[in-house]
């Protein structure tokens, strides 16, 4: 079975219906999205991950009532975590899909959404009554109940003002309109900016499959920075002012210099090809804490699969992998696009020598595994 043909996680709703009626629009509760759901990671293994400095983790405690909200950043030695019998605490571990293959496979079941939108899979463990308070997220999220029960309260409220007296994002006012108790295998989809609060009923574990959406200002900053680093996006032209008259008001910025500044940005914007290359590179750039271990490449490389940490996308002329771009066409482009879509590729002995050498480089860099 091809990876994008794995059993649906949307119950009786087809991916087409989901994208048309719910995605970015309204919440959806899917009972038994994964029937017979078993946790993919034990509590002990999750705690061990939270002690790894390469893994982003947070500990939230409190209930906003008898206990004030508190937040600490990891890594946490397991014995530094509160006792399991203490209520109202939550451990949140980001990017679990980058480290545990079973979570990469879970993530692959959501590939009816473009890879370019994927952020990561976060796992939370909560003691009884634990939660992160009423809040909203900027991302689309699927909240999959993996173990135990969690009570979710959600609200379509427009008032998203946050409290400024607590160390985490908590809504000043939360007026829930719907309450639902999720059991293992149940899943709740929430679009961005939808107010919600999940509270553990007994100890529980929840998996958040999160989808990022670029913010225009941040994206512009990243694209322009990348484009100015490209040799072919802009010729080095220095401002000249041979016609400058004697300065009468020396502190005033000359109008010709203002026009030069405008021209410098405008000239970048005419480079639409380079802008698309920069976009592919930005979208596949691994997060700061991600690193790849170099490895030996077998002499006789038959097939490869992407490392779970590898981000690979393409457009009509370029293939992007982990923040780098390759222009390619013809049979090589078709093979690389297949690798990106399937996250694996076999029959490598029929590839061009150039593509074979490139794939060997990527294996050595740890971006691909030989399989
Ligand atoms: C959690 O898993 O505790 C928090 C998830 C969320 O509310 O986004
Ligand atoms: Co949330």
List, in order of start, the domains of the chain with CATH numbers.
Answer: 3-211 (2.60.120.650), 303-370 (no CATH)
pLDDT of residue 231: 81
Q: Per-residue pLDDT averaged across 310-337, rounded? A: 97
Distance in Å, CA 133 to ligand 2 centroid? 9
pLDDT at 360: 97
Residue-wise pLDDT tens digits, 8-48: 999 999 999 999 999 999 999 999 999 999 999 999 999 99
Looking at all shown ligands, the one closest to residue 199's CA atom is: 1
Q: Does residue 25 come out as left (phi exceeding 0), alpha (psi in the -120 to 50 range) or beta?
A: alpha
Mean pLDDT over 269-297 rounds to 95
Residue 236 pLDDT class (50, 70, 90 cuts):
confident
Asked if pLDDT for residue 353 goes beyond 70, the answer is yes
Please indicate, yes or no, whether the overall pTM of this predicted structure exceeds 0.85. Answer: yes
Counting residues of the chain whose pLDDT is more than 70, the rounded percentage is: 99
Q: What is the mean pLDDT of residues 214-243?
A: 92
Read off the pLDDT band of 5 (50, 70, 90): low
Q: Which atom of ligand 1 is nearest to the CA of 60?
A: 3
Ligand nearest to the CA of 195: 2
Q: What is the mean pLDDT of residues 299-314?
A: 96
User: What does the alpha-carbon distance between residue 358 and residue 346 come to, in Å, rounded to a whole number?
Assistant: 15
- Position 13 scores a pLDDT of 96
Residue 87's pLDDT band, with cuts at 50, 70 and 90, is: very high
Query: Is residue 209 scored above 80 in pLDDT?
Result: yes
Place 371 in a pLDDT band, splitting at 50, 70 and 90: confident
Give the whole-number percent of the chain exceeding pLDDT 90.
Answer: 92
Pocket perturbation via mutation, ligand 1, pick of 94, 132, 140 by most ligand atoms within 8 A of CB: 132
Least confident among 71-75, 135-139, 263-267: 263-267
Cα(156) to centroid(ligand 2), Å = 14
């Amino acid at each position: 079975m091809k990876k994008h043909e794995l059993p649906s996680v949307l119950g009786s709703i087809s991916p087409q219906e989901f994208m048309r009626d719910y995605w970015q629009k309204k919440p959806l509760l899917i009972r038994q999205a994964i029937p017979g759901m078993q946790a993919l990671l034990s509590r002990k293994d999750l705690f061990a991950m939270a002690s790894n400095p390469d893994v982003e983790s947070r500990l939230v405690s409190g209930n906003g009532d008898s206990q004030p909200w508190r937040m600490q950043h990891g890594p946490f030695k397991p014995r530094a975590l509160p006792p399991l019998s203490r209520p109202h605490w939550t451990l949140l571990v980001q990017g679990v899909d980058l480290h545990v293959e079973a979570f990469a496979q879970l993530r692959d079941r959501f590939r009816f959404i473009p890879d370019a939108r994927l952020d990561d899979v976060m796992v939370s463990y909560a003691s009884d009554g634990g939660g992160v308070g009423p809040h909203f997220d900027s991302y689309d999220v699927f909240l999959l109940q993996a173990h135990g029960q969690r009570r979710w309260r959600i609200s379509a409220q427009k008032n998203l003002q946050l409290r400024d007296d607590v160390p985490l994002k908590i809504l000043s006012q939360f007026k829930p309109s719907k309450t639902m108790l999720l059991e293992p295998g149940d899943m709740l989809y929430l679009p961005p900016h939808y107010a919600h609060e999940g509270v553990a009923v007994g100890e529980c574990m929840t998996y958040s499959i999160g989808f990022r959406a670029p913010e225009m200002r941040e994206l512009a900053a990243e694209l322009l920075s990348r484009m100015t680093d490209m040799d072919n996006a802009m010729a080095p032209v220095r401002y000249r002012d041979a016609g400058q008259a004697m300065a009468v008001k020396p502190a005033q910025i000359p109008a010709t210099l203002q026009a030069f500044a405008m021209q410098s940005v405008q000239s970048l914007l005419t480079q639409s090809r380079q802008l698309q290359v920069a976009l592919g590179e930005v979208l596949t750039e691994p997060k700061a804490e991600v690193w790849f271990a170099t490895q030996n490449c077998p002499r006789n490389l038959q097939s490869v699969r992407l490392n779970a940490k590898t981000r690979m996308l393409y457009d009509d002329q370029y293939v992007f992998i982990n923040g780098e771009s390759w222009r390619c066409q013809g049979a090589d482009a078709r093979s690389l696009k297949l690798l990106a879509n399937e996250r694996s590729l076999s029959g490598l002995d029929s590839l061009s020598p150039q593509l074979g050498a490139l794939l060997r480089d990527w294996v050595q860099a740890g971006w691909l595994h030989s399989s």
